[in-house]
Chain A
């Protein structure tokens, strides 16, 4: 059951522009959301998170937005850099560490 969906398998942006990665979820019990970044041959690394009591969280170039009514979250990267090229996974949790992931979006940032 795909409770977390990333409908865009890939995204390509120009260096310096904004990258927007989207994620939808179906389980209204999810109360904590995370984004992970994955390079080939490495495990995912934690990027940024947001709890359901907030609608925005910023960390440097990365901002996560949460729209609970639409069950939608997005990750904004501004400005995008070539080193940001990776697969980005959205994840959601309803309790403890029972965390569900989306299928991932491959971001390519072109110089």
Chain B
């Protein structure tokens, strides 16, 4: 069974731009969660989608948004990028309850 796939692996963007990250969950998994990892901060929870609906949300500003499609694939969008948005963005899928199964992440660098 294929694991969680995130694309692209690396991205470089300029302050003020917007970016879209993509995540394909494990086949059969209906839940997709997004996390931001920065040095010293661990994994910060962004949001979780289940069957195309946002089910849980972390404490990030509205510049961070997401959506889930009918095939469970998910996208995360960050608008008006700031230098502090530079991080590893991790996507995880599950059947609906823990454990989560993570992809290898998208490394975003904002210059």
Answer whether A98 and B45 are a contact pair too, CB < 8 Å, given A34-B98, A43-B4, A43-B105. Answer: yes
* Interface range on chain A (Cβ under 8 Å from partner): 20 to 34
SS class, residues of chain B in contact with chain A: strand
In the assembled complex, the Cα of A93 lies from the Cα of B41 at a distance in Å of: 18
CB distance from A60 to the nearest CB of B (A): 16
Answer whether A101 and B42 are a contact pair too, CB < 8 Å, given A43-B103, A44-B102, A49-B98. Answer: yes
Q: In the complex, which residues of chain B have a beta carbon less than 8 angstroms from the beta carbon of A4? A: 42
In the assembled complex, the Cα of A42 lies from the Cα of B102 at a distance in Å of: 9
In the assembled complex, the Cα of A103 lies from the Cα of B36 at a distance in Å of: 12
For the complex, is B97 an interface residue (Cβ under 8 Å from A)?
yes
The reply to whether B42 and A89 form a contact with Cβ atoms under 8 Å apart is yes
- A residues touching B (Cβ–Cβ < 8 Å)? 1, 4, 6, 9, 32, 34, 36, 41-46, 49, 89, 91, 93, 95-104
- B residues touching A (Cβ–Cβ < 8 Å)? 4, 31, 33, 35, 40-45, 48, 50, 55-56, 59, 90, 92, 94, 96-105
In the complex, 27 of the A-B residue pairs with CB atoms within 8 angstroms, ordered by the A residue number, are A1-B59, A6-B42, A36-B102, A41-B104, A43-B4, A43-B90, A43-B92, A43-B103, A43-B104, A43-B105, A44-B102, A45-B102, A46-B99, A46-B101, A49-B98, A89-B43, A93-B98, A95-B56, A96-B31, A96-B97, A97-B50, A97-B56, A97-B97, A97-B98, A97-B100, A102-B42, A103-B42
